[in-house]
Amino acid sequence: QVQLVESGGALAQAGGSLRLSCAASERTVSRDVMAWFRQAPGKEREFVAAILSTGRTTYYADSVKGRFSIFRDNAKNTVDLQMNNLKPEDTAIYYCAARLLGGSVRSLNYNYWGQGTQVTVSS
């Protein structure tokens, strides 16, 4: 059973930056698609970014493209999300996910999920 632990969530001002990190308990995730999702109060969980196993191919939601960047370090079993130019609408719990079971990387069809880390952006 792979465990994912997110960190880095905090209160930030609009226009500021945060970096989230997700640590996986097993090296097998180095072969997996890894992704970040978020869920705002009263809303459904939504895709933010994903990165393929080699780290050379990334995907982003339109709402974060140009502001967020996803990175992975397979030697450390980590995936980070660098968030710049934060907006109040980025406020949400951010979840790390690993091992896509099939379909689009933007779907919720991942085998493993972290517990989430809270990001709050004030205006």
Per-residue confidence (pLDDT) for residue 16, from 0 to 100: 98
Each residue's pLDDT tens digit, 20-32: 999 999 888 888 9
In sequence order, what are the beta bridge partners of 38?
Answer: 46, 94
Render pLDDT for 63-87 as a digit per residue (tens, 0 to 9).
999 999 999 999 999 999 999 999 9
Question: Which pLDDT band holds residue 106 (cuts at 50, 70, 90)?
Answer: very high
- Give the separation between CA 97 and CA 111, rounded to whole angstroms: 7
Taking the C-alpha atoms of residue 36 and residue 46, their distance in angstroms, rounded to an integer, is: 9
The DSSP annotation for 23-63 comes to: EESSGGGGGS-EEEEEE-TTS--EEEEEE-TTSS-EEE-TT
